[in-house]
Chain A
Amino acid sequence: MDSDAHRDRIDAQLSGMFGNTTQGAVTGGSFSYTESDMTKIRDNWLDLADSYDTSLRNSSFMVRIEPPAEDFASKFQTNAANRSGESYRSYVEHNRDYCIQQAQLFNDALADYLGVEHTNVTGINKTAPQGPQAGV
């Protein structure tokens, strides 16, 4: 199937998704995606997920923070900072997972349009005919 045919199929699917109201009236407007657009958007979501993931790894160092002194104010301040750190960590992890989910949606849509098997964007549950690859 050539690129134009893919584009037509994507147009048909996505204009149906975004072009109808609950009343059934067509309001117009649609999105046009090529195969490369879909791939690019999926990769952008994955890049964003990677960026959140880097923040998540680096936030683990915050547990090393200790109060500067043994007085109540120092300990209280550190406890508050650590709670804030935990909240930040949860927020970053949530956003990382959200970005992966969005990437997965685009990946699945792309697979449907191409008529190929769904694959997991994080690499798990995949078929690996070649086995481990060199390097990282």
Chain B
Amino acid sequence: MLLRRPAIVASLLTLALVSGCTTTSQGEPRPATTTDTSTSISTPDTSDNGEELPFAGAPKVNDPLDTSRFEQDPCLSLTADQAQSLSLPSTGATLENVALGNGCGWKNSETRGYVEIVFLVDDPRGLSPEYDANSRGKWAYFDELPNIEGYPAIARDGTDDRDIGHCSVLVGVADDMVFVSIVKLSQANVGQKDPCEVAAQVAGLALQTMKGA
């Protein structure tokens, strides 16, 4: 019992000190300061592993586009009218198991013309890794294209099948987001049209849809 006395005294002293320090005062409630983020898109300057974006010589995207809705459902990227203007079915089919992304494909079974749009959602580094791969000699062809609807674009692939009407065009819609327009020309148009020009045209239509959303 004697051993507990110092502890009790210390507790009482602490309580007295705390009570003495606790005072109340009148104040005026104020609203918390808020920032309206509804119209702006935050684009990280670095990737998940800390790399500065962009890198490897990739162009910076000055006006990033919010494509989140289309990333989740790439089939929304082309409207029915746009698809029909390309001689494709009005609705696309969601693709399963696309590496690093979500994709949608439109195929005309009669002409064998085909378009695919893929968002690389699982690698949020935009165009930078494409430029990096180019510096490592990974592409059979790599061409910087004029901006499409104001966004930087490239044409590239690991296999050069442009002579049989195939081309892949990638558009950087943000420093950390890219989508791919893959085109296989119809048999009638192989040798008649430049597949990369058509892929860029498809990307332009998709961007118009995304901007209007």
Residue contact A61 to B87, C-beta cutoff 8 Å = no
- Does B112 sit at the interface, judged by CB under 8 A? yes
Q: A134's contact among B87, B103, B163, B166, by CB below 8 Å, is which?
A: B87
Known: A128-B192, A135-B186. A61 touches B86 (CB 8 A): no
- Does B125 sit at the interface, judged by CB under 8 A? yes
Q: Output the nearest chain A residue to B183 by Cβ-Cβ distance.
A: A136
- In this complex, the interface size class of chain B, counting residues with CB under 8 Å from chain A, is 35 or more
Q: From residue 169 to 213 of chain B, which have CB atoms closer than 8 A to chain A?
A: 180, 182-193, 198, 202
- Does A50 sit at the interface, judged by CB under 8 A? yes
Return B162 CB to nearest CB of chain A, in Å.
Answer: 11
Q: From residue 124 to 175 of chain B, which have CB atoms closer than 8 A to chain A?
A: 125, 129-130, 133, 138, 156-159, 161, 163-166, 168
Bitwise interface map of A from 102 to 136 toward B, beta carbon under 8 Å scored 1, else 0 = 00000000000000000001111110101111111
A58–B186 CA distance with the chains assembled, in angstroms: 19
- In this complex, the interface size class of chain A, counting residues with CB under 8 Å from chain B, is 20 to 34
Residue contact B120 to A54, C-beta cutoff 8 Å = no
Residue contact B112 to A132, C-beta cutoff 8 Å = no
- Does A75 sit at the interface, judged by CB under 8 A? no
Known: A61-B123, A64-B125. A124 touches B163 (CB 8 A): yes
> Could you say which residues of chain A place their CB within 8 Å of the CB of B180?
61
- Does B13 sit at the interface, judged by CB under 8 A? no
- Does A36 sit at the interface, judged by CB under 8 A? no
A50–B165 CA distance with the chains assembled, in angstroms: 12
Query: Helix, strand, loop or mixed for chain B's interface?
Result: mixed
> Could you say which residues of chain A place their CB within 8 Å of the CB of B116?
54, 57
A124–B193 CA distance with the chains assembled, in angstroms: 12
A50–B116 CA distance with the chains assembled, in angstroms: 12
Return B82 CB to nearest CB of chain A, in Å.
Answer: 11
- Does A60 sit at the interface, judged by CB under 8 A? yes
- Does A48 sit at the interface, judged by CB under 8 A? no
Residue contact A124 to B99, C-beta cutoff 8 Å = no
Residue contact B125 to A135, C-beta cutoff 8 Å = no
Return B139 CB to nearest CB of chain A, in Å.
Answer: 8
Q: Output the nearest chain B residue to A67 by Cβ-Cβ distance.
A: B49
Bitwise interface map of A from 42 to 73 toward B, beta carbon under 8 Å scored 1, else 0 = 00001000100110111111111110100000
Residue contact B157 to A61, C-beta cutoff 8 Å = no
Q: Output the nearest chain A residue to B99 by Cβ-Cβ distance.
A: A61
Residue contact A89 to B185, C-beta cutoff 8 Å = no
Known: A57-B168, A58-B98, A124-B190. A136 touches B86 (CB 8 A): yes
> Could you say which residues of chain A place their CB within 8 Å of the CB of B49?
66, 68
Residue contact B129 to A132, C-beta cutoff 8 Å = no
Q: Which residues of B contact A (CB under 8 A)?
A: 49, 85-88, 95, 98-101, 103, 105, 107-108, 111-116, 118, 120, 123, 125, 129-130, 133, 138, 156-159, 161, 163-166, 168, 180, 182-193, 198, 202
Q: Which residues of A contact B (CB under 8 A)?
A: 46, 50, 53-54, 56-66, 68, 89, 93, 121-126, 128, 130-136
A-B contact pairs, 20 of them (CB 8 A): A50-B114, A54-B114, A58-B99, A60-B156, A60-B158, A61-B98, A61-B99, A61-B123, A61-B180, A64-B123, A122-B187, A122-B190, A123-B164, A123-B188, A124-B190, A132-B188, A133-B188, A134-B87, A136-B113, A136-B184
